[in-house]
Structure 1
């Protein structure tokens, strides 16, 4: 049963990631804005859910499933590599710093928000 919670959540998260990736490419075709947005929103949601101390089944569905299927470290690293390969060093640096910095800030804010909601 646990596998089902994770699988269904991951499918939902992956569809959300796909949609935001398409939107990001339309809004900012030169930079990987969609991936940045996805990872920061995923970090925020992970922080909120962790701060709320949700039960195990709900955690499997929301945190492991949806957040895991939604966020994408592999695309973040690949996007950074492509920017560097194309000698877009400034954009690569800004993208890397923004993703890591905003991701950490989003988790911290999410934890605080989740504890308030709890």
Structure 2
């Protein structure tokens, strides 16, 4: 009675290892981009909870936002041109749109376009 071996071959193992390695490499390239985006969202939420933020001037709002980004160790992908602060009825509406380009493999790049917005309004309804 002949017994056959079962399992993965060396070639199969190398292929599986290559695929897993490729996914790990792509994940390591994408992870910092998304961590920065979540840092932007967090900075905007913190800014919205700032007392009296609806009465601030746009320049002060931008300054406070960039200070929070600096604390979160964000890269230099977000500039003053990427931040838009517009007046709404009971405060401000802040929008941050930016693009991140990272090299992947050789001449291939990965591009991430991010868009976040936050309402900066009066909590107590006082004008």
Under TM normalisation by the shorter chain, which class is it? 0.3 to 0.5
| Larger RCO (CA under 8 A, 6+ residues apart) | 1
Structure richer in strand, relative to its length: 2
Scaled by the length of structure 2, what TM-score is found?
0.36
Whichever of the two has the greater Rg, that structure is: 2
